[in-house]
């Protein structure tokens, strides 16, 4: 498999689509952070307490970096589908199998390179993002420990997505169709994850304020109809939200770091399941 990996890396180095996407992502992020920083200093906060007001925009800077990283995962679906699609469209897959490369090795090498592609896209956000933060706020507002955990979480969710991209690209021989399905499914997983995360974050009740006849304002609790009560339904939905790498990406984009261990375990499970399915299906796939 090392030969296939070496050949894949050779091709990856020549992928203009990948490197231009990386350049565009990194440049836009760095410019955005520098522009916002410039804007923050040009218009001083209206409230006297600088410590209070400054904390909000500074935490926003962190969120910009992780929102871009989530965007990078979405963009990676297009890049990976395009690159993997060339294997079928250009017939390169035939050249590998006809000279005696095992299907398992071809699949696993492609999976490894797709994971690497997603990592490169994430790094194209992290590195300029960190550089821009060092030049402006000086560091992550949330602290390096939490930031590194989020980065690792996003990389692992990206790897789970990469295994899905590989599966789809090896099963759909038509490059454009594979790209459409891959991008569409990635969007669906991100949106589905966002909706599920939003619903599960609903509180059981919310506070309402009522004015009594005496003119007093009294808080009262009202049951939240959108809240999903504890029980099997909530458990299933929580598992789905955690298992969906799109849901994780949404959580990380919001810089939330709850249940990191469980989320990472779900990523590994997702990766193993999709890769096993891909290997089994590709083993008997009829190629033309």
Partner 1 sequence: MENVFLARNLTKSYGRAKVLSGLDITVPKGSIYGLVGRNGAGKTTLIRLICGLQLPDGGELELYGQTGRDLTRARRRVGAVVESPAFYGDMSAADNLKHQFLVLGLPDQDRVPELLKLVGLENTGKKRARSFSLGMKQRLGIAMALAGDPDFLILDEPANGLDPEGIVEIRELILKLNRENGVTVLVSSHILDELARIATHYGFLEGGRLIREIDAKSLESSLRRRLHVTVTDTAKMAAALDGLGLAYTVLSDREADVYGDTSVTDLTLTLRAAGCDLLTVSEKNETLESYYIDLLGGERHD
**Closest Cα partner for 68 from 104, 10, 34, 24?**
24
Q: Which of residues 266-285 bind partner 1 (CB under 8 A)?
A: 284
Single residue of 50, 55, 95, 224 touching partner 1 by CB under 8 A:
95
* Cβ-based neighbour number of residue 226 at 10 Å: 10
The tokens of 112 are what? Answer: 């490894």
What does the alpha-carbon distance between residue 53 and residue 218 come to, in Å, rounded to a whole number?
29
Please state, in angstroms and as integers, the Cα–Cα distance from residue 251 to each residue in 66, 70, 158, 245, 257, following that order: 10, 10, 13, 10, 8
Interface residue with partner 1, options 92, 134, 152, 191 (CB under 8 A): 92
Could you say whether residue 286 binds partner 1 (CB under 8 A)? Answer: yes
Q: Among 99-107, 198-206, 211-219, 263-271, which window interacts with partner 1 (CB under 8 A)?
A: 99-107
Nearest to 154 by CA among 282, 267, 237: 267
- By CB under 8 A, the residues from 72 to 91 that bind partner 1 are 86, 89-91
For residues 226 and 205, the answer to whether their CB atoms sit within 8 Å is no
Which residues have a Cβ under 8 Å from the Cβ of 259 and sit 6 or more positions away? 242
Q: Site for partner 1 (CB under 8 A): how many residues?
A: 28
Distance CA 103, CA 113 (A): 15
- Closer to partner 1 at the Cβ: 133 or 178? 178
40 is a contact residue toward partner 1 (CB under 8 A): no
Binding-residue pattern over the window 101 to 140 for partner 1, x denoting contact by CB under 8 A: xx--------------------------------------
Q: Binding to partner 1 (CB under 8 A): which residues in 207-266?
A: none
Task: Report the residue number, 11 or 226, with the smaller CB distance to partner 1.
Answer: 11
Q: Is 10 in the site for partner 1 (CB under 8 A)?
A: yes
Interacting residue ranges for partner 1, rule: CB under 8 A: 2-4, 6-7, 10-11, 14, 16, 86, 89-102, 284, 286-288
């Amino acid at each position: 498999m090392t030969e296939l990996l070496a050949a894949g890396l050779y091709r990856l180095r020549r992928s203009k689509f990948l490197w231009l996407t990386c350049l565009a992502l990194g440049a836009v992020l760095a410019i955005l952070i520098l522009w916002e920083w410039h804007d923050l200093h040009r218009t001083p906060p209206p409230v006297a307490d600088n410590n209070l007001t400054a904390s909000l925009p500074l935490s926003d800077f962190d969120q910009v970096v992780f929102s871009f990283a989530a965007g990078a995962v979405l963009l990676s679906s297009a890049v990976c589908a395009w690159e993997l699609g060339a294997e079928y469209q250009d017939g390169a897959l035939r050249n590998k199998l006809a000279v005696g490369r095992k299907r398992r090795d071809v699949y696993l090498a492609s999976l490894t390179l797709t994971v690497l592609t997603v990592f490169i896209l994430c790094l194209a956000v992290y590195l300029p993002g960190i550089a821009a933060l060092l030049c402006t706020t000086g560091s992550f507002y949330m602290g390096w420990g939490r930031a590194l955990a989020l980065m690792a979480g996003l990389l692992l969710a990206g790897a789970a997505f990469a295994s899905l991209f590989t599966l789809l690209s090896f099963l759909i021989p038509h490059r454009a169709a594979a790209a459409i399905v891959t991008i569409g499914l990635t969007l669906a997983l991100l949106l589905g994850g966002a909706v599920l995360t939003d619903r599960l974050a609903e509180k059981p009740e919310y506070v309402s304020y009522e004015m009594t006849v005496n003119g007093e304002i009294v808080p009262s609790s009202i049951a939240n109809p959108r809240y999903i009560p504890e029980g099997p339904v909530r458990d299933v939905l929580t598992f789905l939200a955690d298992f969906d790498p799109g849901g994780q990406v949404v959580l990380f984009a919001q810089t939330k770091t709850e249940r990191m261990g469980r989320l990472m375990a779900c990523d590994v499970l997702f990766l193993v399941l999709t890769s096993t399915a891909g290997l089994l299906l590709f083993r008997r796939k009829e190629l033309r």
